[in-house]
Chain A
Amino acid sequence: MQITPLGDTALMLGFGDVIDESVRRRVHVAWQVLQAAPLPAVTELVPAYTTVTLFYDPMMAVQEGAPETGIVEWLTAKVRERLKNPPKTEKSKPRSVEIPICYGGEFGPDLGQVAKHAKLSPEEVIKRHGKADYIVYMIGFAPGFPYLGGLPKELNTPRHAKPRMNVAPGSVGIAGNQTGIYPLGTPGGWNLIGRTPLKLFVPDRDPPVLLCAGDGVRFRTISSEEFAKLEASK
């Protein structure tokens, strides 16, 4: 594990240089361990693809016993101690979340482009995207935006050079080897292939997001009629 300062109020714990399942698992385990028993002066943990970043309050650290000229060393020792014998596997079985998705048409204006890039028919893209198993590597960009790993290789599509000014909430997109879902109407450069009627960000719910890092995700293909029904019922 590599520990790097991120300014004077955060430390980044690094677990590898590639995006893959074994690095993801180590990130997740470290995150779980540090969350279960918070370290003194640590105010927030943010997991990403290969890192867990820990935000701390320097004054709180000193009040907890850190030497004033060695706050980072003090915190680093505590982190290493806490993560010395990490569990081999994730503590709890990952949650699996099913996301209904209506592919193509007005919901997926880039389906044709993804199909062309993959040299497949749109129907085949839908089939392959819809039956893969995904895992949430990271939440970021916007509240509840999941970066999903597990996209079938042949569906890799580079993002648009010029982002759209406004992507509709619920839009499912592809960028490189990742797929993701836009929770809010935001600008975005991903290739949009479908849309879910589910809300990914609900501020008054706890947690306020549908998906968290480490969750498993499967898509379920729905018709535009079912989309309308689900949307009306929420």
Chain B
Amino acid sequence: MITVIKPGLLTTVQDLGRPGYQQFGIVVGGALDRISTRVANMILGNDANAAVLEMAQTGPELRFENETVVAWCGADFDARIGNEPMPRDRPVRVGAGETLTFGFARSGLRAWLAVAGGIDVPLVMGSRSTYRRAGIGGHEGRPLLVGDTLAVCAPGERSAHLLGSLRTTGRRVASWTVRPQTLGGTFVEGTMRAMPGPEWDWFTPESQKAFFSAEWRATNEADRMGVRLVGPVLELSQPREMISSAVNTGIVQVPPSGQPIILLPSRQSVGGYPRLAALAAVDVGRFTQLRPGDNVRFQKITLPTAHELHLARERDLALIRMGLGRVMG
């Protein structure tokens, strides 16, 4: 069991989301960075879809009632057990009664903390993800509060083995690490890859050019549904009303203000604003690390290139899963 001593700014239980219900107007949601979540779980030998804790800006302080092993991926949070700093991207043993404290994110914005076995909250429509607007899923359908207690699912064989080997070698932290950022090849810091969206042709040539050449700034109008950017005003060639249609995570929609909104996993299922562009799925997780005031650029790629990046990363993940299978027996 885990007791929440301090909840942090916005800590929620998330897994890989609630797909299959968009036809009913129910958001997919889930962890904002699926790759960090999958890797954190993979490090522990958990199912990829095991529930994790997502934290933002200031992390939680958590007391573990039982000895276990945890791992987190994402932003570089100042994490400690007692005064001892704890690294990300690798297994960390937490003793019974010990407190794991996450401070501020030193770079980036969010991280995903996996616990051996996964956080045990009831499945709602096939998912443990917190769906705040509907008040369902996760821990009582809301972010964590002081004094909450979280149950943990029984760890699998691999997690138990991992904990056992850390204990017998007297180690707190494993010697190996998996960095989710390095999977699937290189990228340019501060640049997100994107492709034209369904209403690309509705925009003026100047606006099309501006989207891919300007420097954009993330605003504080940002949540798990989307992030508004400021930069040049994007304009339609002529006034046009769009008929509402499905949207996707990573879609760049442009409301009448001309300032784009990038949609994140807790986006609505449908929208009525012209969809200028779409982030490559591989860059959505990176995008969710932007803080208000951070600058970002977009690099134009083709759809086959986006797929190539996606496949390359999935193959890297599969290789690492195999490698970890050996490490953990």
Contact = CB atoms under 8 A, between A and B. Distances in A.
A159 to B, nearest CB: 12
A202 to B, nearest CB: 11
Interface in B257-286: 268-270, 275, 278-281
In the complex, which of the residues A7, A46, A141 has the most CB atoms of chain B within 10 Å of its own CB atom?
A7
Contacts of A51: 245-246
B243 interface: yes
Given A55-B19, A140-B244, A147-B244, A6 B251 contact: yes
A184 B304 CA distance: 40
B133 A46 contact: no
B311 A59 contact: yes
Contacts of A97: none
A69 B305 CA distance: 8
B303 A5 contact: yes
Interface residues of A, number: 50
Interface string B227-260: 0000000000000000111111111000000000
Contacts of A8: 195, 278, 280-281, 303, 306-307, 310
Interface residues on B, range: 35 or more
Given A7-B197, A8-B310, A10-B246, A48 B24 contact: no
Nearest to B315: A59
B214 interface: no
Contacts of A59: 310-311, 314
A17 B310 CA distance: 32
Interface in B39-53: none
B205 interface: no
A9 B303 contact: no
Given A71-B307, A138-B270, A201 B246 contact: no
Given A6-B247, A184-B134, 15 more contacts: A4-B198, A6-B275, A8-B306, A43-B19, A46-B270, A48-B270, A49-B244, A50-B243, A59-B314, A68-B307, A69-B304, A139-B25, A141-B25, A141-B270, A208-B26
Interface of B: 19-26, 124-125, 133-134, 136, 195, 197-198, 243-251, 268-270, 275, 278-281, 303-304, 306-308, 310-311, 314
Interface of A: 4-10, 12, 17-19, 43-51, 53, 55, 58-59, 62, 68-72, 138-145, 147, 183-184, 186, 201, 203-204, 207-209, 212-213
